[in-house]
Each structure stands twice: as structure tokens, then as C-alpha cells.
Amino acid sequence: MVNQSLNSTPQSERLHIALFGRRNAGKSSLINALTGQQIALVSDMPGTTTDPVMKSMEILPLGPCVLIDTAGFDDTGKVGDLRVERTREVIKQTDIAIIVTDASSLDDEMRWAGLLKQANVPYVTVLNKVDLMKEVPSTLLADMAKRLGCDVIPISAQNGTGLEVLRQTLAGLMPESDKQSLTGSLAQKGDTVLLVMPQDPQAPKGRLILPQVQTLRDLMDKGCIAVCCTTEDIDSSLAALREPPRLIITDSQVFDIVEKKKPAGSLLTSFSVLMAAHKGDIRFFVRSAMAIDRMTEQSRVLIAEACTHAPLAEDIGREKIPRMLRQRIGQGLTVDIVAGKDFPEDVTSYDLVIHCGGCMFNRKFMLSRVEQCRRQGTPMTNYGITIAHIKGILDKVSLP
């Protein structure tokens, strides 16, 4: 269930911290200890947690997080294998991992440490249940650290030992990208920024969509002056400003209109470009969009959408982009569409993957899709970059 309540940080913008470990290691107990609430079911029956469970919470000094409890990675049998597979899937959206162990054996833990390393997920190990040990030999910790390739922190989920050290260690593992600003070097303190935000029938009633809200917040945090308008009011908004804005950020659907009206001195970008940079690998997306130039009617395109909302008339992913591509390449072009977490394991049969901005996914999850496409040799871009390229304005876009 995605938490999108208006007064809390959206789940997609929270740091995702997942707990991995064998059954009974104390993963669920640790979630309860970190949250101070009895959220996850705990029992001495191995295999209590069967599906990944997400809990949004603030962890100081990390800020808003999502903790993910998982089923034990040593589960066996037919259903057990399925659970382990589910647990493995969680790695794709994990920003930081905690391996929970009681150190009775380290074989599974070492294998999972390898998987995390492979997926570029920073991780720490906690040696849990130290309340049951008379002492924790420092040689044991050093040996574990060496074998697992990470810090090992002795803790007790039961009496709270070591939790403060764990919190501080997690803060140290926070990815650099989570500290970066959405508009990057495009706007600085004191700059005036014009945001063009058409509120068409696709726009939600009575509120703004997430990329617009996040961009506004980013600009305000930086001390920029943000001016918002719809497409109809661009001229009057520009006229109301004493000087041309340093930057114009527009909805990509009206990019060409805005581009024509843009004062010479202003930079121009789009919300999707900002989101692409925030949520993916913008330079890979731009390079990938060039695949459109090489496509024929025999080509195959995969459109991937994060939202599973009921498609609207004139839906950008389902209607507009396929129509634009077919107009340019030919009506025979194959366009497949997937939504939500559905994404083929194998994308090699596609000549291009076009993803939505991914505002409902966290950055790590988008990057895992980018990584998959790159590994399989399939270009991947997003809606905004595609539209900008088809309209021939990609070289006029400023990248953050």
C-alpha cells in the first residue's frame, strides 16, 4: 500500500531500509525496537514473517524512512522458495540494508552480503540477541566484519543495546544522491524560477501532482522565488517579472509552446527532466532516446508506468506517446504497456523502454530498472525525454 497522505513525506521519497536475515534472527523484533511500536509479528516459530512488510517512520538522524521487514532468507520448500524470491525482490528498492544475525552460522549471510554488494546496496550487520551472551568477544566482531565485508554492531532488539550506534551507522551509509537537490545547479538562492503547470483533465482535482510539489519545495528550501502559472498565463507572468527568470520549468507536454515564449536569457527544463535526473540516470535516458531515430515499423517499444490508475482519455503513456511514435515511425510499430511493479525479466526483445517519471517509485527502484536495461543492452528513457526528443527540443533542455 503506497502512503500518499498529503501531510506526510511520500513513500517514494523516503529512505528505504530493509532487514534481511535467517528466520528467527530477530528482524521483526528489531523493527519493533527501532519504531518503538509493536508493528511486526514476533514469535519463536521460524517463518513468522512471510511477506515483505513496509512501515513508514522517522528515524533520527536519518529523517523519513520506510523500514521493510522480510521473510527469512533461509526459508525452504516450495512456498519457502517463493518467500525467499520475494525477499530478493526487495533488494531492488533498498537504499540501505541491515543483515540481522545471531552468528550461529554465517554462510547465508555471506551469500546475501554478496548479493547486496552486487546490487550496490550499502549494508551493515547487526549481531542480535547479545543479551543472551555473557560477553561479546571483539575477535568475534572483527572476524564477522571481515567475512561479511561491513561493520558489525552488537545489539539486542529485546533490551535496546546498540540501537543508537545502529542509527548513527545507518546515517553514515545514506547515499549521496539522497542529499542532493532536485533542481541541482540550475537554480540558486535568490533566482526567480517560473513554473509552467497546465492543469488539464489529467491533473488531480484540487491539488498539484508530486513532481510539481517537490520542485516547489526544493526551490523554496534553496531560497528561490518561485512563480507558478498555467500555459495560458505565460505571457502575463513573464510581463509581471522585472527581469526574465533565471530558469523556466515546464510540463513536458507544453514544452514547444514554452520554448517559443522563452526569453533568451532564461534556462529551460521540464519537470520530467528533473524527475529523470532525480530518479534515474538522466544521461543514459538522453542517449537512449536516440534509439527512436533508428526505429522501423518492425521495432518494439515497451512503455512502463508506475501508477496503476485507471487509464484516462488522452493518457500520456497509453495514448499520446504511442501515437507520437507511430506518427513518426509508422502505424505497424509494436507498443506494449506494463504498469506498477510488472516489468519483464527480459527486455532484450525491445528496441526501447520508455518509463514514466517514476514519482511513485524510489530512486533505487528506478535505478535497478535502468541497470537491468543497461545489462541487457536495451536503451531506456522516460516520457519527458521522449517527448522532448520527438519534438526536436532535447538539445534545448538544460540538465540539472
- Residue ranges that bind Mg ion, judged by CB under 5 A: 27-28, 48-49
Q: Which of 10, 12, 18, 24 binds ligand GTP (CB under 6 A)?
A: 24
Residue 125 or 381: the one with the smaller Cβ distance to ligand GTP is 125
Q: How far apart are CA 47 and CA 74, in angstroms?
A: 9
In the list Mg ion, ligand GTP, none, the entry touching 398 (Cβ below 5 to 8 angstroms by class) is none
**Closest approach of Cβ 116 to ligand GTP, in Å?**
17
Q: Does 44 bind ligand GTP (CB under 6 A)?
A: yes
Residue 75 or 191: the one with the smaller Cβ distance to Mg ion is 75
Rg (CA), the chain: 24
Cell numbers that stand for 351 in this block? 528496441
Residue 44 or 395: the one with the smaller Cβ distance to ligand GTP is 44
Place of cell 498565463: 233
Phi, psi of 164 (to 5 degrees): -70, -40
Bridge partner residues of 355 (DSSP) = 304, 382
- Contact flags string 48-67 toward ligand GTP, x per CB under 6 A: xx------------------
In the list ligand GTP, Mg ion, none, the entry touching 92 (Cβ below 5 to 8 angstroms by class) is none
Residue 87: how many CB atoms within 10 A of its CB? 24
Q: Does 132 bind ligand GTP (CB under 6 A)?
A: yes
Q: Does 129 bind ligand GTP (CB under 6 A)?
A: yes
Q: Does 76 bind ligand GTP (CB under 6 A)?
A: no
In the list ligand GTP, Mg ion, none, the entry touching 25 (Cβ below 5 to 8 angstroms by class) is ligand GTP
Cell numbers that stand for 231 in this block? 500555459
Strand spans (E) along 277-332: 300-305
Q: Does 200 bind ligand GTP (CB under 6 A)?
A: no
Strand, coil or helix: what is 365? Answer: helix
In the list ligand GTP, Mg ion, none, the entry touching 389 (Cβ below 5 to 8 angstroms by class) is none
**Closest approach of Cβ 102 to ligand GTP, in Å?**
8
Strand spans (E) along 206-284: 225-229, 247-250, 267-270
Q: Does 190 bind ligand GTP (CB under 6 A)?
A: no
Q: Does 42 bind ligand GTP (CB under 6 A)?
A: yes
DSSP state of 29: H
Residue 26 or 358: the one with the smaller Cβ distance to ligand GTP is 26
Instruction: Give yes or no for a contact between 382 and 316, defined as CB atoms under 8 angstroms apart.
Output: no
Residue 4: how many CB atoms within 10 A of its CB? 11
Instruction: Give yes or no for a contact between 99 and 113, defined as CB atoms under 8 angstroms apart.
Output: yes
Residue 69 or 191: the one with the smaller Cβ distance to ligand GTP is 69
Q: Which of 128, 237, 362, 386 binds ligand GTP (CB under 6 A)?
A: 128
In the list ligand GTP, Mg ion, none, the entry touching 232 (Cβ below 5 to 8 angstroms by class) is none
Burial class (CB in 10 A: 0-12, 13-18, 19+), 327: exposed
Q: Does 29 bind ligand GTP (CB under 6 A)?
A: yes
Residue 162 or 280: the one with the smaller Cβ distance to ligand GTP is 162
Cell numbers that stand for 58 in this block? 522517522
**Closest approach of Cβ 50 to Mg ion, in Å?**
9
Q: How far apart are CA 249 and CA 99, in angstroms?
A: 42
Cell numbers that stand for 84 in this block? 525467499
**Closest approach of Cβ 69 to ligand GTP, in Å?**
7
DSSP state of 157: T
Q: How far apart are CA 53 and CA 30, in angstroms?
A: 13
In the list Mg ion, ligand GTP, none, the entry touching 131 (Cβ below 5 to 8 angstroms by class) is ligand GTP
Residue 27 or 355: the one with the smaller Cβ distance to Mg ion is 27
Q: How far apart are CA 178 and CA 282, in angstroms?
A: 16
Residue 29 or 214: the one with the smaller Cβ distance to ligand GTP is 29
In the list ligand GTP, Mg ion, none, the entry touching 211 (Cβ below 5 to 8 angstroms by class) is none
Cell numbers that stand for 335 in this block? 507498443
Identify residues 144-173 at the interface with ligand GTP (CB under 6 A): 156-158
**Closest approach of Cβ 49 to Mg ion, in Å?**
3
Residue 230: how many CB atoms within 10 A of its CB? 15
Burial class (CB in 10 A: 0-12, 13-18, 19+), 24: buried
**Where on the chain is the footprint of ligand GTP (CB under 6 A)?**
21, 23-29, 42-44, 46-49, 71-72, 128-129, 131-132, 156-158
